[in-house]
Homo-oligomer: A and B are copies of this chain.
Amino acid sequence: MTAPTSRNVSAPTIADVAARAGTSVASVSRVINDDRRVSPEMRARVNAAVLDTGYVRNAAARSLRGRSAHQISLVVDDIGNPAYVQAMRSLQDLAREHGLRLLVESTFGQLEEELKVMHALGERYVDGVVLASTRFAAPLIEELRSPAVPVVVIGSAPCEVQVDSVGADARGGARQATEHLRQQGCERIAMINGPLGTLPAKSRLAGFRDGFEPEASPPVIHADAFTPDAGYEAAVQLLDSGASPDGILCAADPLAIGTLNACIDRGLDVPHDVALVGMDNGRDAMMSRPRLSSVDLHFADRGRLAGQMLLDRIQVRYDGAPRRQSVHTDLIVRGSSDRRGILA
């Protein structure tokens, strides 16, 4: 029977437990930390004392003494993006398996915020960070030159940044998607890309161009953000431009959702007037009608991989030069680009 603890009275410490059990703090500590060098009898007594004092270990003291916060964090642009939710989920599972808490920080696109978060790492309130950022502003890069705690990037990092990363072959995926559109009979293929200057925009654009003759210059519109709204606006702009595309590659699923809506609002039939392919293959690619064809960028797997690389650093299992992993991508064809009834 635990007494309804009031918050005013300070929480019991191991000293309290020790007193209750008639032993020393050392023994209590041993029991708590599963040290084998404790007699079963003592263990029982301490456990009982823990129970009826209602003792819970103090995170701050443990961190200070043990030099480990038992927390890692995931820093993302926008947790509203389903791709990141996937990564978060698998990363959280991994963290849990290792007795770590996962802290999530969403900067919602505010660069300044991102910077502050990375700088605050110096406070060592986490043991490491998985960073999924679309842009690497100069100060961020500077911060990454000598981070206070290990950092692993999901996505691609600028080549001048020495950091572990788990990328995906987005370029290859974009190319494959483009070729797929052509196979579907599209002759005027355009692209709705992410914000100009971001790394993902760069690689996807390269892949898109790979799908054309070198001298071709297919229309490309850059959206302001990787969101449905931005995708919608960009698509309107594209459709108004007179390019009248019959196939569009979108650099991310949210952009594709926006683009799909813009097409529908214009009375265009998807996929027959315009075929659409997105990238990410997040949860909501299946939630539109028609369903969205999408290049699977394996965010769940990459979240886990990033977590593993991070743990390698934290536990000093690996201590060498930055490692850059990359995963393959897979085009998943659904209704939005299926003009020939492949799926029927």
Interface of A toward B, CB cutoff 8 Å: 2, 4-7, 11, 56-64, 69, 71, 79-80, 82, 85, 88-89, 92, 96, 101-106, 108, 113, 120, 122-125, 145-146, 148-150, 228, 257-258, 260-261, 264-265, 283-284, 287-289
Subset of 13 A-B contacts with CB under 8 Å: A5-B146, A11-B122, A57-B123, A58-B124, A59-B123, A60-B60, A63-B63, A80-B82, A101-B103, A258-B287, A284-B284, A288-B288, A289-B289
- The reply to whether A265 and B287 contact each other, CB–CB distance below 8 Å, is no
A5 cross-chain contacts in B, Cβ below 8 A: 146, 148
- The reply to whether B283 and A124 contact each other, CB–CB distance below 8 Å, is no
A11 cross-chain contacts in B, Cβ below 8 A: 122, 124, 148
Identify which of B4, B85, B96 contacts A146 (C-beta below 8 A).
Answer: B4
Report A108 CB to chain B, min CB distance, Å.
6
A82 cross-chain contacts in B, Cβ below 8 A: 80
Q: How distant is the Cα of A63 from the Cα of B63 in the complex, in angstroms?
A: 10
Identify which of B6, B145, B149, B257 contacts A287 (C-beta below 8 A).
Answer: B257
Q: How distant is the Cα of A60 from the Cα of B102 in the complex, in angstroms?
A: 17
- The reply to whether A104 and B101 contact each other, CB–CB distance below 8 Å, is no
A149 cross-chain contacts in B, Cβ below 8 A: 7
Q: Which 8 A-B pairs have the closest CB atoms?
A: A56-B122, A60-B63, A59-B125, A59-B123, A60-B64, A104-B104, A4-B146, A103-B103
Q: How distant is the Cα of A82 from the Cα of B284 in the complex, in angstroms?
A: 12
- The reply to whether B58 and A123 contact each other, CB–CB distance below 8 Å, is yes
A124 cross-chain contacts in B, Cβ below 8 A: 11, 56, 58-60
Q: A56-B123, A59-B63 provided; 7 other pairs, C-beta below 8 A?
A: A2-B146, A6-B146, A7-B149, A58-B64, A58-B124, A89-B106, A261-B289
Report A148 CB to chain B, min CB distance, Å.
7
A106 cross-chain contacts in B, Cβ below 8 A: 88-89, 92, 104
Identify which of B79, B145, B258 contacts A79 (C-beta below 8 A).
Answer: B79
Least CB separation from A227: chain B residue:
B283
Report A291 CB to chain B, min CB distance, Å.
9
- The reply to whether A60 and B56 contact each other, CB–CB distance below 8 Å, is no
Least CB separation from A125: chain B residue:
B59
Q: How distant is the Cα of A104 from the Cα of B96 in the complex, in angstroms?
A: 14
- The reply to whether B125 and A108 contact each other, CB–CB distance below 8 Å, is no
* Known pairs A5-B146, A261-B287; A79 contacts B69 (CB<8 A): no
- The reply to whether A80 and B85 contact each other, CB–CB distance below 8 Å, is yes
- The reply to whether B59 and A69 contact each other, CB–CB distance below 8 Å, is yes
Q: How distant is the Cα of A247 from the Cα of B102 in the complex, in angstroms?
A: 42
A71 cross-chain contacts in B, Cβ below 8 A: 125
Identify which of B6, B79, B289 contacts A264 (C-beta below 8 A).
Answer: B289
